[in-house]
Structure 1
Amino acid sequence: MVEYGQQRYYASKQYLLPADEAETARLNLQHRVVIQTFENQLSLAPLSLKSGDRILESAAGTGVWALEFLEENNEKGIILEMDCIDISDKQFARNYPSNLQFSLHSVTDLPVEWSTRFAYAHQRLLIAAMNDSLWRKAISELFRVLAPGGWVELVEIEAKDVHWDVGPSSTKVQSILTSLYGEKGVICDLGAYLPTLLKEAGFVEVQCVARNSPLGPSGFTGTEWGKFWKGLKRNVVDAGGYGFVTSGEEYEQLVDEAVIEWNSNPDKAYNTYYTILGRKP
């Protein structure tokens, strides 16, 4: 029997991160970091929404983005209808307005009746759940459910050209993630990959906006960033540690050492986030 230490809930084998209360707290903080990285904008798409338009949030998680997007539009007098989907309901908000609906769906297999339903589709940070085949299904489905003229907005993180190695332990942690993503078929250079995929699917006006977010006081602290890495423990342990660790306890100790390096070197390590946009003609 494999021991992971603290029990975590995982919604699937494909998605590498947990879906539990600890991850909910991390996702809500991550939301603030990502929004701050893009100049405090919830969306970069050139939208012209009107009351009654339907919006899709894929991989909604806690629904924090959807709730804020609805409220932002409410303040403009635009009352939207929002569908929030995820493969797990463990993190769905408990209280939400009647024009927002949560449901269990995968972006790779959306309901048939949703064709041309949405004026805008938003999705964020699915990198750890996807491989090439799944991305192609997802982009095809997003194209199908958007109305003509509708925009898709995908927010992702760079995982190929990364900059988390500020000391010996953080360098090992970075190498573990590279090995894990390689084994799972995760596409790491999404800033280049997704725009190409959108164009192949038929999207036009495709663009990619990149922003760097340092680890430190102005972004994720090293301590908070360490929670992401500890969420990967199940997969690292199941894979035998990739030659760097031999147990969950040893992996957690390595992450704790990396956290010290990140906290001791503010702004030297950073994440690169991408917002990729496309319009359905």
Structure 2
Amino acid sequence: MKYTQRHSFDADHYVLSRSRDEQDRLNKQHEYITEAVFDGRLIFKNNTKVRPGMKVLDSATGTGCWILALSKEVDSSISLVGADISSTMFPDSHPRNVQFVETSVTNMPEKWTETFDFINQRFLIAALTATQWAVALKELYRVLKPGGTIQITELHSFNPVGEGLRKSGEVWKKFMSLLEEKGHLSDSGYRIKDFARNAGFENVEESVQRAPIGRRWGKLGEAGAENLKRGLRVLEPANIGRGGLENVNTCTKSQSLVECARQEWDNCEGLYLSVTVFTARKPL
């Protein structure tokens, strides 16, 4: 079942696409992050349990890949909700205990106040401005039950250095510039902890994990590099004509800067993305 709620923030701020290719990339990103960052788990902390009768929210669910994966691991009495500002990527079919709702993380339904026992959210660096991040954390706090837990996964950094990584550094610099141009926080991975505390959460913890990038790490590193490349290529059309990620004199005419960077990732040993998992609790 799908429901619609009034949108609260301007979707034009969202940098990425909602195409079929992007849906496929998000599904593969879920698999990669689950393995590389969560060690095969869906819930980061081992002592956090989802028990029968509980209610779980996947905020900014996208394709619903996380909530659908969770539905295969938990009791069918658990109510699972995937929420996103756009229903474009919602799956056509899903288990009976899973519901998808079109709503903004900055303006969730009033009836959800103190509804959920556990909330998951991943990668909104390309979606929220600084002001919206503060509002979003307050909304998550509102809809979480006292004693409930949130986990937020966000990009921390990817700062390749060295003579053999010039193009990679250029790609990342342009990506960060685009985010800042749109009003997003390029350093959201550093600031969510403060937003969470200001919203009222307690026991706010962060764990910075290394997600391997490049062929030197084996299949997992290859998957990470390919997903990163696809994510950055989504940005290319948005930058045409204004010094974006298109062909530059450091690449051949048939290559984009992103493709050049992808080659560097495969030839570099020990390259990784830093991903932060934040966990916090709403006081009783």
TM-score (norm 1): 0.86
Once residues 152 and 221 of structure 1 are traced to their aligned partners in structure 2, the CA distance between those partners, rounded to angstroms, is 25
Question: Which one of 88, 96, 121 corresponds to residue 90 of structure 1?
Answer: 88
CA 1:256–1:263 in structure 2 vs 1: closer, same or farther (change >3 Å)? same
Query: How far does residue 194 in structure 1 lie from its aligned partner after superposition?
Result: 0.8
| Partner SS for 1:234 | helix
- 1:144 is the counterpart of 2:106: no
RMSD: 2.4
Displaced runs of 4+ in structure 1, greater than 4 A? 242-246, 249-252
- Structure 2: gaps spanning 5 or more residues: 1-9
Once residues 15 and 234 of structure 1 are traced to their aligned partners in structure 2, the CA distance between those partners, rounded to angstroms, is 14
| Partner SS for 2:96 | coil
Matches within 5 A, 1:1-281: 12-37=11-36, 38-45=38-45, 46-74=47-75, 79-159=77-157, 162-163=159-160, 166-216=164-214, 217=218, 218-219=220-221, 220-237=223-240, 240-241=242-243, 253-265=256-268, 267-281=269-283
CA 1:104–1:157 in structure 2 vs 1: closer, same or farther (change >3 Å)? same
Q: Deviations over 1:141-161 (max 9, x none)?
A: 0000001101111011114x6
Query: How far does residue 54 in structure 1 lie from its aligned partner after superposition?
Result: 1.2
TM-score (norm 2): 0.85
Q: Deviations over 1:59-110 (max 9, x none)?
A: 1111111111121113xxx631011111222211222101101111110000
**Worse overlay, 104-113 or 163-172:** 163-172
CA 1:164–1:227 in structure 2 vs 1: closer, same or farther (change >3 Å)? farther
- Structure 1: gaps spanning 5 or more residues: 1-10
**Worse overlay, 181-190 or 133-142:** 181-190
8 Å CA contact 2:117, 2:145 repeated in 1: yes
Query: How far does residue 224 in structure 1 lie from its aligned partner after superposition?
Result: 3.2
8 Å CA contact 1:230, 1:252 repeated in 2: no
**Worse overlay, 173-182 or 193-202:** 173-182
Which amino acid is the alignment partner of residue 237 of structure 1?
A: I
How many pairs were matched up?
263
Once residues 180 and 214 of structure 1 are traced to their aligned partners in structure 2, the CA distance between those partners, rounded to angstroms, is 24
Which amino acid is the alignment partner of residue 18 of structure 1?
A: S
CA 1:252–1:155 in structure 2 vs 1: closer, same or farther (change >3 Å)? farther
